[in-house]
Amino acid sequence: MSDPVLHLQGLHKTYNTGLPGEVQVLRGVDLTVNAGEVVALVAPSGAGKSTMLHIAGLLDVPDSGTVSLVGQDMTGLSDRKRTAARRSDIGFIYQFHHLLPEFSALENIVLPQLAAGTARKAAEARARDLLDRVGIAPRADHRPAALSGGEQQRVAFCRALANAPRLLLADEPTGNLDPETSDQVFGALMELVRGTGLSALIATHNMELAARMDRVVRMDAGRLST
């Protein structure tokens, strides 16, 4: 059996807010995401999901516990190696698209590929293919300001998958959209994820969207349950 794409074991994280006492955000989190699996993470605000996603995405480190990506323990790696792992193996999607406003949709997807060393011609071909998969290839040359909110988020999805990551981490990826657009955009995301065969951990408040994934885990007060 192949190694899980993501394995979190015994994660604890505490923050010192400057006020009396400390805030325990994660209290022994264990989670495995297998190859090709799409997992919904459902949690109320302040439950610790964003902290968990940041640690899973190697943007933060736990006080204790381990983070393994495709069978490799990431916890003790240098910042340089963690950055390399993020660039090659992890794609991120947030509630807001964070596209670069001065670049076209196509260029926003090409740029991370160039940073990873991909030749421009190949990067542009992959960007056009991804835009076609989410149904907005005709908008490739438009800048973000000329795109609708749903179109902007679809571009953000493509950018997250530009370097063919093994794992997608998404924090409320449709939370900034109206219900109808959210449903359409989430459908495009799922088609993209299924079509590329990657694993995903997607945080959402929307139980209808969560039910369309393979498995639902719930976080409350820094602990996970199924």
Residue-wise pLDDT for 141-182, tens only, equals 999 999 998 899 899 999 999 999 999 999 888 877 788 888
The per-residue pLDDT for 131 is 93
Q: Give the domain range for residue 78.
A: 6-99+165-225
Over residues 6-49, the pLDDT tens digits come to 999 999 999 877 666 678 889 999 999 999 899 999 987 778 88
List, in order, residues 6 or more apart from 40 with CB less than 8 Å away. 202, 203, 204, 209, 210, 211, 213, 215, 216, 217
**Per-residue pLDDT at 2 exceeds 70:** no
Q: Answer whether residue 193 is part of any domain.
A: yes
Query: Does 197 have pLDDT greater than 60?
Result: yes
Query: In this structure, is residue 29 part of a structural domain?
Result: yes
The answer as to whether 138 is a domain residue is no
Question: Residue 66: beta bridge partners?
Answer: 9
Q: How far apart are CA 106 and CA 128, in angstroms?
A: 7
Q: Is residue 210 part of a domain?
A: yes
Is residue 24 assigned to a domain? yes
pLDDT at 119 over 90: yes
Asked whether residue 144 is domain-assigned, the answer is no
Evaluate whether residue 104 is within a structural domain.
no
More confident residue, 116 or 107: 107
Regarding predicted confidence, which is higher, 68 or 225?
A: 68
Count: domains in the chain: 1
CATH label of the domain that carries residue 17:
3.40.50.300
Average pLDDT over residues 110-136: 93
Token look-up 């976080």 returns 219
Given a cut of 50, is residue 223 above it in pLDDT?
A: yes
Considering the domain boundaries, does residue 82 fall inside one? yes
Residues 39-52: pLDDT tens digits? 999 987 778 888 99
pLDDT at residue 184, rounded to an integer: 83
Percent of the chain with pLDDT over 70: 97
**What pLDDT shows up at residue 1?**
46
Is pLDDT larger for residue 186 or for residue 167? 167
